[in-house]
Amino acid sequence: MVKALLGQIQGVFKKDFLFASFLPSLVFLSAVVGSLASEFGFQPVLAWSDAWTTTQKSVIVTVSGVFVVVFAYLLNGLREFLFLHWSGSKTSLIIRPFLQIRTATYLSRYEALQKEVNVPLKWNRIGEWLRNSVNERIPKKPAPTKKIDAKKLEAILKTIDGLKESMTRQDLQTALEPLLEEYQVCEEESLSEGYAKANKLLGEWEKTEGATANLRRFQFDRSFGNKQSVKGNKLGNVVESYNYYSYSRYRLEAEVFWPHLQEVISDSMMAKLQDARMLLDFSISMATLAAMYSILVLIFGLWLTSHYIILGVLTGTAFLTTSLFYGMGVFAAMQFGDLVRACFDLYRLKLMKAFNLTIPPEFSKQRKLSLQISQLLVYGETSDFSTVNPP
For the residues 360-386, what does the mean pLDDT come to?
A: 81
For the residues 52-64, what does the mean pLDDT come to?
A: 83
Check residue 42 and give its pLDDT: 64
Q: Is the pLDDT of residue 388 over 70?
A: no
Judge whether 263 and 350 are in contact, CB under 8 Å. Answer: no
CA distance 277 to 265: 15
Tell me the sheet residues that pair with 387: 357
Residues 6+ apart with CB under 8 A from 111: 227
More confident residue, 154 or 144: 154
Check residue 269 and give its pLDDT: 94
Check residue 138 and give its pLDDT: 86
Q: Is the pLDDT of residue 43 over 80?
A: no
For the residues 243-248, what does the mean pLDDT come to?
A: 91
Check residue 243 and give its pLDDT: 92
Check residue 387 and give its pLDDT: 64
Buried b (16+ CB within 10 A) or exposed e, 260-274: ebeebbeeeeeebbe
Q: Is the pLDDT of residue 102 over 80?
A: yes
CA distance 229 to 254: 14
Q: What is the pLDDT of residues 288-310, one digit of tens each?
A: 999 998 888 877 765 656 666 76
Check residue 64 and give its pLDDT: 86
Check residue 5 and give its pLDDT: 39
| % pLDDT > 70, the chain | 90
Among 17-21, 156-160, 229-233, 371-375, the least confident range: 371-375
User: Which class for 238: exposed (0-12), middle (13-18), buried (19 or more C-beta within 10 A)?
Assistant: buried
Q: Is the pLDDT of residue 78 over 80?
A: yes
More confident residue, 222 or 378: 222
For the residues 113-129, what does the mean pLDDT come to?
A: 91
CA distance 203 to 173: 15
**pLDDT band per the 50, 70, 90 thresholds, residue 44:** confident
For the residues 217-222, what does the mean pLDDT come to?
A: 91
Q: Which of 17, 5, 1, 9 is nearest to 285 (CA)?
A: 17
Crossing angle (nearest 10°) for helices 54-77 and 79-86: 50
Q: What is the pLDDT of residues 174-197, one digit of tens each?
A: 999 999 998 888 888 888 899 999
More confident residue, 199 or 391: 199
Q: Is the pLDDT of residue 22 over 80?
A: yes
CA distance 114 to 219: 11
| % pLDDT > 90, the chain | 46
Among 62-66, 86-90, 228-232, 376-380, the least confident range: 376-380
Judge whether 369 and 357 are in contact, CB under 8 Å. Answer: yes
Amino acid at site 208? T
Buried b (16+ CB within 10 A) or exposed e, 79-99: beebbebbbbeebeeeeeeeb
Check residue 2 and give its pLDDT: 40
Q: Is the pLDDT of residue 21 over 80?
A: yes
Q: Cα separations (Å) of 121 from 114, 137, 142, 165?
A: 14, 26, 38, 12
Report the run of H or E that residue 156 belongs to, with start and end.
helix 150-161
Q: Is the pLDDT of residue 207 over 90?
A: yes
- pTM of this prediction exceeds 0.75: yes
Check residue 4 and give its pLDDT: 45
Q: Which of 15, 19, 10 is nearest to 284 (CA)?
A: 19
For the residues 355-378, what does the mean pLDDT come to?
A: 86
Please count the other Cβ atoms lying within 10 Å of the Cβ belonging to residue 365.
11
Q: What is the pLDDT of residues 312-355, one digit of tens each?
A: 777 888 899 999 999 999 999 999 999 999 999 999 999 988 88
